[in-house]
Structure 1
Amino acid sequence: MGDQTPDLWKPPLKSYWCTYSRAWIDVKHICELNVTEAEKAALGEMLDTCDS
């Protein structure tokens, strides 16, 4: 894991994808960091696992 982006690494437990992706997005937002298209696609896939 370490310094890999969500398009290169996802938590092995799919049940954790929602929490992980939301945390990743929060950090990117707080630190005003850019999101690549590959990250955006991977995060979207992980966000799809969140309950409505």
Structure 2
Amino acid sequence: MDTERSLIAVSLGSNRSKGDKDPAEWMPPTKYAACNYAADWVAAKLRWKLTADRAEKNKLRKIAVGCPRTAVTFTPAP
């Protein structure tokens, strides 16, 4: 948990609506937040060498097209 992108404070309502859903099932309501959320999601997946299912990959690709200025950076976990 030593990365700066691990946790983001959100309202109770947002937290409840998201639950344990992945990006294929839930995204933040604003484009700016969605771009950052998707980048953070991908960074966490890459850092920890986690897999993504087809629906998740498709949604993340679709979001990425609308986020040309958002970069994904990560440090591999030890």
TM-score band w.r.t. shorter chain: 0.7 to 0.9
Task: Tell which deviates more after alignment, 13-22 or 39-48.
Answer: 13-22
Query: Is the counterpart of residue 45 in structure 1 residue 62 in structure 2?
Result: yes
- Name which one, 1 or 2, has greater alpha-carbon Rg: 2
* Count of aligned residue pairs for this structure pair: 52
Name the % identity: 33
1:3-49: CA deviation from partner (whole Å, max 9, x where unpaired)? 11000001111222211111000000111110111000110111112
Query: Of Structure 1 and Structure 2, which has the larger fraction of its residues in helix?
Result: 1
- What is the CA RMSD across the aligned residues, in angstroms? 1.2
Mind listing any 5+ residue stretches in structure 2 that lack a counterpart?
A: 1-17, 70-78
TM-score relative to the length of structure 2: 0.60
Instruction: Select 1:7's aligned residue among 21, 24, 34.
Output: 24
The gaps in structure 1 that reach 5 residues or longer are: none
Equivalence map 1:1-40=2 (5 Å): 1-40=18-57
Please, what TM-score do these two structures have when normalized by structure 1? 0.85
* Deviation >6 Å, runs of 4+: none
